[in-house]
Amino acid sequence: MIASFIKKIVGSRNDRQLKKMGRIVKEINGLEDQFIALTDDELKAKTAGFRERYKQGETLDDLLPEAFALVREAGKRVMGMRHFDVQMIGGITLHDGRIAEMRTGEGKTLVGTLPVYLNALSEKGVHVVTVNDYLAARDANWMRPLYEFLGMSVGIIVPQQEPEEKKQAYAADITYGTNNEFGFDYLRDNMAFRKEDKVQRGLNFAVVDEVDSILIDEARTPLIISGPAEDSSSLYRHMNKIAPLLKRQIEENEGEQGNRGHYTLDEKTRQVELTEEGHQFIEEVLQKDGLLPEGESLYLAQNLNLLHHVNAALKAHVLFTRNVEYIVQNNEVMLVDEHTGRAMPGRRLSEGLHQALEAKENLPIQAESQTLASTTFQNYFRNYTTLSGMTGTADTEAYEFQQIYGLEVVVIPTHKPMLRQDHNDLVYLTIHEKFDAIIADIKETVKKGSPILVGTASIEASELLSGALKKSGISHQVLNAKYHEKEAEIIAQAGKPGAVTIATNMAGRGTDIILGGNWEAEVNKLDHSSDEQVNKIKEKWQQSHKQVLESGGLHIIGTERHESRRIDNQLRGRSGRQGDPGSSRFYLSLEDSLMRIFASDRVKNFMKALGMEKGEAIEHSMVTNAIEKAQKKVEGRNFDIRKQLLEYDDVASDQRRVIYEQRDELLEADDVSSSIEAMREEVVNHLVSTFVPCQSLEEQWDISGLESQLRKDLNEDLPIQSWLDDDDKLDDQGLHKRVLDSVIDSYKAKEELSGSEALRSFEKHILLRILDDKWKEHLATMDHLRQGIHLRGYAQKNPKQEYKREAFNLFQQMLDDIRFDTIKMLSLVRVQQDDQTEELERRRREDIARRMQYGHDQAKLLHNGDESHSGEAAESAVQPFVREGRKVGRNEPCPCGSGKKYKHCHGKIQ
């Protein structure tokens, strides 16, 4: 009561905000005469002047009154439209990074020009985000003359656009596009291999049109770029033929040269490794089959893919036995749980092993879909320095906008008073009775000459109603959200006298229904329009417009209540634009899903107790309150779901930010050798500490294990035991230093052999590649963790806290793996020429681009319909590199000058 009294005295927060902005509007209005007096050239010159003042230290807030006055005057001269005072208030709201709730028909597209122009002065880019490609192109081309008059460039981003075109669109002062395309470009940029491949230039200022649709309705639909983890099915089948030819090396015959096999098997650790003879044998077979160029080594960087497939095939044949580790059922390889002995359908092995098993059993090879990058709209849009939005219905979701995005909703007053009459809901017992009443209402309204827009909750309901209207002989148009251009065309003419249009909830947003129809759309249909034809169309429209106004304007019929009050308000908001008359009514039945699920039995019993006969309806406050309570309950539940999704994704978002920042630093750097040196020191120290713990007794040291591990992981054959025998004073710290020095010396020898430039380029390529691969694996692990984390609740643990803790540990492990795998790869692989690295990068870029699929996580969609942009996986043939220089023989002296045979030195890989 006290709060209500204070509100009456000082006004609501919204009133105070409007009053504050009203003072700025007065200042803008005071400048109008000054700008009217300027010539076109003088107006155009203002943009350069504003930019210079901004560079000199003035803020955009300082420039706002003059900039808005300039846009208003330019709008009058170029578009023939003057911004109203309430539109100026909307523009100020958007510039301040808030949401402007403006009723349908209040000119939101024109309002957007004010903050867009002002923020484009900073030359950091402005993004205007719409819900579909048609609206993006329409709004950009509609407002382009105004922007270009003021010296601003305009770009449009669309799907399947060439990267260079997209880059130019983002380089423009103002860029229009859909939320999906902006999000996918952000993810693609963070998968780029060169900084020049990135298209976006930072996320500065965004105006989101229909902000409730994008930030609320689509908040639960993650954007995902995925691709088959492996797509070389022919390569798997080929390697499957080679694997049975390989023979196991028996330990007792290890020393006998003639009896050495092609691979060793450690059954205890379930590890299998190729011997030198095995490598040599495979090289010969692959060269004979044309998969490996003549004289080419399997150890070269560009041939690691072949080595990966060989290892997968070998493991499939040696480590996995049918009906033990797996079974074949329904033409699929199913893994068997070693603890329960039960099949695990849907579970697949990683690193190409599952495909190798499918090749072994001669089954269809399934290309695995692996997440390459993902984000949610919630976290993507929070990356913008300033985010703002426009919609006709945001106030009911104001709490969520504030909680999730930190966005305040300001309700902007209408330019003219609202004349629409919103009638009470009519509630019937059955759907059939409700539909009979709707058709009767339509017939009566058509007789009066009023246009009708009927909103349905589903395509099924719209088709059902369409069938009933056909039986009654009522001509009508049916809208769904499949064809945006056709949709906009139909909705534009939905205001003609007696027109009946059926639309699903979201259909037709962004296009005004003009009473009497859209005469401009009819003129545009003419190939060559004469003045006489245009005048006739205008006269006809004026008659229709007057007829519709006299008949009461556009009549809105809702066939059922939506789960969200906001969607109902959107439907109502199509009528009564800019002071036009209109009316609305919702028809409900107890069989509607919302009433059936959420309305209490008390309501049903109450209606039956009234003794209602067939076809009778009820209007009662108790029923209305029950419906509103049901809607609030569903809204609250959906908000909790979206908030929970965000809390989980925030963990991934923090990690994503760290990885993307590191990736950007990598792309910017030409030389990453200092990072490599730091990684090498950390990896070597960790490796040595595993076998020689710090401050431990010499009896606790495992020297043979250390020597073996150094050979395996870093290609270092160090006589550590000899060092200790020769030097009694060599302690653990001295040993650490000596091993590190030896590893560094070997790497320097490699650098002298391959050249500094080639090695620097290769280091950057390897680090980027491993970072991307580990990040992909990490995303998959995080998905698995997320799916099962709720089970921790049964152990009296907080699933969210457990998820955060485990996600942190997984992230730390991933960073360790990146360091280790980078140093291991650089130690084992031989670099020959700089152009080989460039070719490797080029091929890798093309391969990923060819295999990428763009889409939403369908399991998390709120509505039906496939919104994904997917591309079929294309097989990539293995292309040979052209060798420059002679191949070094395996038994020849190593070119590094160590004195060892090449196969025991730089030609060794394990």
Q: Number of helices and strands (H, E) in the chain?
A: 33, 22
For 499, counting Cβ atoms within 10 Å of its Cβ (0-12 exposed, 13-18 middle, 19+ buried), the class is: buried
Supply the pLDDT for residue 510.
Answer: 60
d(CA 607, CA 609): 5
d(CA 455, CA 453): 6
Supply the pLDDT for residue 893.
Answer: 54
- Report residue 452 as tokens: 């009708």
Supply the pLDDT for residue 376.
Answer: 84
CA angle 61, 67, 72 (to 5 degrees): 135
What type of residue is 727? D
Supply the pLDDT for residue 540.
Answer: 85
Supply the pLDDT for residue 894.
Answer: 53
Please state whether 107 falls in left (phi above 0), alpha (psi between -120 and 50) or beta: left
Supply the pLDDT for residue 339.
Answer: 46
* Strand-pair partners of 585: 557
What secondary structure does DSSP assign to 748-783, as a single string? HHHHHHH-HHHHHHHHHHHHHHHHHHHHHHHHHHHH
What are the φ/ψ torsions at residue 367 (nearest 5 degrees)?
Answer: -80, 120
d(CA 166, CA 93): 30
What secondary structure does DSSP assign to 538-572, as a single string? HHHHHHHHHHHHHTTSEEEEESS--SSHHHHHHHH
**Three-class secondary structure assignment of 119-165:** HHCCCCCEEEEECCHHHHHHHHHHHHHHHHHCCCCEEECCCCCCHHH
402-457: pLDDT as tens digits:
888 888 999 888 877 778 888 888 888 888 889 999 999 999 999 988 999 998 87
Supply the pLDDT for residue 750.
Answer: 85
- Report residue 207 as tokens: 């105006």
Question: Exposed e or buried b for every residue in 740-752, given b needs 16+ CB within 10 A?
Answer: bebbeebbebbbe
Residue 84 three-state SS = coil
Cβ neighbours of residue 717 under 8 Å, at least 6 residues apart? 707, 710, 711, 900, 904
Residue that the structure tokens 């889409």 belong to:
855
- Contact of 518 with 511, CB cutoff 8 Å: no
- Contact of 503 with 486, CB cutoff 8 Å: no
Residue 109 three-state SS = helix
d(CA 843, CA 110): 46
Cβ neighbours of residue 878 under 8 Å, at least 6 residues apart? 232, 235, 291, 305, 306
Supply the pLDDT for residue 488.
Answer: 67
What type of residue is 700? Q
3-state helix, strand, coil in the chain (%, to 5): 55, 10, 30
| Dihedral sign, Cα of residue 672, residue 675, residue 679, residue 680 | positive
CATH architecture of the domain with residue range 645-832: Orthogonal Bundle (1.10)
CA distances from 533 to 493, 494, 525, 538 (A): 19, 22, 12, 9
* Strand-pair partners of 273: 264
Cβ neighbours of residue 125 under 8 Å, at least 6 residues apart? 170, 172, 173, 175, 201, 202, 204, 205
Q: In what order do the strands lie in the sheet with 99-101?
A: 154-156, 174-178, 126-130, 205-209, 386-391, 99-101, 409-411
The closest alpha carbon to 624, from 424, 428, 397, belongs to 424
The closest alpha carbon to 109, from 125, 129, 133, 85, belongs to 129
For 155, counting Cβ atoms within 10 Å of its Cβ (0-12 exposed, 13-18 middle, 19+ buried), the class is: buried
Q: What is the pTM of this model?
A: 0.70
Considering the domain 421-517+527-619 in this protein, what is its CATH number? 3.40.50.300
Supply the pLDDT for residue 457.
Answer: 78
10-residue mean pLDDT profile of the chain (910 residues): values are 46 82 93 93 94 94 95 94 93 94 83 96 95 88 94 93 92 94 92 87 93 81 70 82 88 54 77 84 88 75 73 91 84 73 69 88 79 84 93 80 87 82 85 91 91 84 87 85 61 85 68 78 73 82 85 90 82 82 89 71 67 70 76 83 82 89 88 90 90 80 87 85 82 86 90 84 89 87 75 79 90 92 85 59 61 51 33 32 38 50 44
CA angle 190, 193, 197 (to 5 degrees): 75
d(CA 386, CA 205): 5
d(CA 43, CA 35): 8
What type of residue is 214? I
Supply the pLDDT for residue 698.
Answer: 76
What type of residue is 669? A
CATH fold, domain 2-227+377-411, is Rossmann fold (3.40.50)
Question: Exposed e or buried b for every residue in 861-885, given b needs 16+ CB within 10 A?
Answer: beeeeeebbeeebeeeebeebebee
The closest alpha carbon to 731, from 682, 685, 693, belongs to 693
- Contact of 750 with 736, CB cutoff 8 Å: no
Q: In what order do the strands lie in the sheet with 369-375?
A: 369-375, 223-228, 853-856
DSSP 38: S
Query: Are both 2-227+377-411 and 421-517+527-619 of the same fold?
Result: yes
What are the φ/ψ torsions at residue 825 (nearest 5 degrees)?
Answer: -65, -45
Residue 675 three-state SS = helix
- Give residue limits of the domains in the chain: 2-227+377-411, 233-372, 421-517+527-619, 645-832
Size (the chain), residues: 910
CATH architecture of the domain with residue range 233-372: Alpha-Beta Complex (3.90)
